[in-house]
Amino acid sequence: MQHNPWERAKNQLHNAAEHISLDPLFLAKLGAPDRTVGVSVPMRMDDGSVRVFEGFRVQHNNLRGPYKGGLRYHPKVDMDEVRALAFWMTMKNAVVDVPFGGGKGGVAVDPKKLSASELERLTREFARKLAPVIGPSLDVPAPDVNTNGTIMHWIREEYARVSGADAQAVITGKAIKDGGSEGRTEATGLGGSYALAEYLRLTGQHPQGMTVAIQGFGNVGSYLAGYLQELGFTIVALSDSKGGIYIPGGIRDLKAVAACKERSGKIAGCYCVGSVCDVTNMEQLGGRDISPDEALTLPVDVVVPSALENAITSDNVADVKARIVLEMANGPTTIEADRVLAERGVVVIPDILANAGGVAVSYFEWYQNMHGETWTKPDVFAKLKEKMDAATGAVYQASLQHQVSLRDAAYITALQRLASSAA
Ligand code: GLU
């Protein structure tokens, strides 16, 4: 049960609700999604066979604006996961104070096993099924795990075909040439670095000398690593689903590691000296190989789960040595593990704050599309910093006022904003 994300989401809601007085009707509305949509996605594979995939979209709540949230392609996608992720989007959008509600969707598929044309056919079929329930003022999807700007563009085209209206703002996370925003690709990682830096500033701490281990080196983890390094943190470990590297003295050339991962398909073995990344450099750098999960239990100041749900569980929480957990994945900590971390005084910067930078810039993209504007990257970054600093400040204040964890404080902040929209 503790691994069911939807049970966890409801538990988080009720924990936070105990600290403030809320109308039971309002709470009941948030305790279930407005609408769940399940679709079948039949398609012809390259070898001529036909397969049917399952697709989902959950529209959790639209009190503050159109439903908003990503679409993921992953074999483990199911309705309970999507329901939790949609709920977290409602909360996240309220915490970062953008005028959106929460939604999420996906297809249960391993996209790494599809050819490029199969991926396109799957997406276009899924988009045709979603078209009647999405729209710029209704529900605005975006990228999530294993989806990207190209996939978003196909969805926009199919939406135009089915609805007869070509609307840029039906989707965010588009490539810049298709109406996307400057800075959207970097936004989640950059936003996480702003949240951590602002939390340290508020508590009188400094990044210099702090070590960081990151689990997950996709779009979010890779940008985050670079921005944290710029702020003065020392990145000592990186891992992906196949394993990773640990260099206690610090991984200096993150760009070389990213290029090595791009080439070889994995981080393992990416010990880079100059332009050469090879396992033969391991000894010279004083490094060693790690398993994907070992990144979470190394002796560092900050650990960053930046992959999928259920990274920190009752199985490994006793081994977590960091004093700060920056949740860049959605739902990476189970209820039980969260309780243990809180008892030990480990600070958890919760997902609905830490990774809100992505949807914040999705809002900027949607706004630019709706108003025919084009903002520069420095402008987007400045606006993102303003949003992340304000959200971090509000959550921190709520934690002091109610004497609760940052997670409960983030929910309290979100619930108060949602309640005032409901009033
Ligand atoms: N998938 C991202 C998230 O989990 C971004 C959602 C969006 O931009 O709508 O926050």
pLDDT digit string, tens, across residues 236-255: 999 999 999 999 999 999 99
Average pLDDT, the chain: 96
DSSP category for residue 151? H
CA of 196 to the centre of ligand 1 (A): 19
CATH number, domain 33-178, options 3.90.120.10, 3.40.50.300, 3.40.190.10, 3.40.50.10860: 3.40.50.10860
Instruction: Using the atom order of ligand 1, give the atom closest to the CA of residue 173.
Output: 8
Candidates 68, 104, 174, 261; catalytic one: 104
Dihedral angle sign, alpha carbons of residues 359, 364, 367, 369: negative
Note the pLDDT of residue 423: 76
Report the CATH fold assignment for 181-423: Rossmann fold (3.40.50)
Q: Give me the pLDDT at residue 212, please.
A: 98
d(CA 386, CA 382): 6
**Nearest one of 411, 355, 414, 331 to 85, comparing CA atoms:** 331
Query: According to the model, what pLDDT value does residue 275 have?
Result: 83
Per-residue pLDDT of 272-298, as tens digits, reads 998 899 999 999 999 999 999 999 999
pLDDT in tens, 386-396: 999 999 999 99
Grade residue 94 by pLDDT with cuts at 50, 70 and 90: very high
Cβ proximity of 224 and 196 under 8 Å? no
Question: CB of 68 closer than 6 A to ligand 1?
Answer: yes
Q: Do domains 33-178 and 181-423 have the same CATH topology?
A: yes
Smallest CA separation from ligand 1 atom 9, residue: 69
Ligand 1 mean position, distance from CA 369 (Å): 17
- Tens digit of pLDDT for each residue in 376-387? 999 999 999 999
For ligand 1, mutation pick of 59, 100, 188, 361 (most atoms within 8 Å of CB)? 188
What are the extents of the domains in the chain? Answer: 33-178, 181-423
137-158 per-residue burial string, b: 16 or more CB within 10 A, e: under 16:
eebbbbbbbbbebebbbbbbeb
Q: What is the pLDDT of residues 314-365, one digit of tens each?
A: 999 999 999 999 999 999 999 999 999 999 999 999 999 999 999 999 999 9
State what percent of residues in the chain have pLDDT above 70: 100
Closest CA to 122 of 112, 134, 135, 111: 111
pLDDT at residue 1 in the model: 46
104 is catalytic: yes
Q: Give me 296's structure tokens.
A: 């979470």
Per the model's pLDDT, the better-predicted residue between 54 and 3 turns out to be 54
Q: Output the residue whose Cα is nearest ligand 1's atom 10.
A: 359
96 CA distance to ligand 1 centroid (A)?
Answer: 12
153 vs 148: CA distance, rounded Å: 9
In total, the chain counts a number of residues equal to 423
Check residue 2 and give its pLDDT.
Answer: 53
pLDDT category at 194 given cuts 50, 70, 90 is very high
Q: Is the CB of 103 under 6 A from ligand 1?
A: no
CA angle, 4 then 33 then 341, to 5°: 35
Decide: 172 in ligand 1 pocket, CB within 6 A.
yes
In the predicted model, what is the mean pLDDT of residues 136-153? Answer: 96
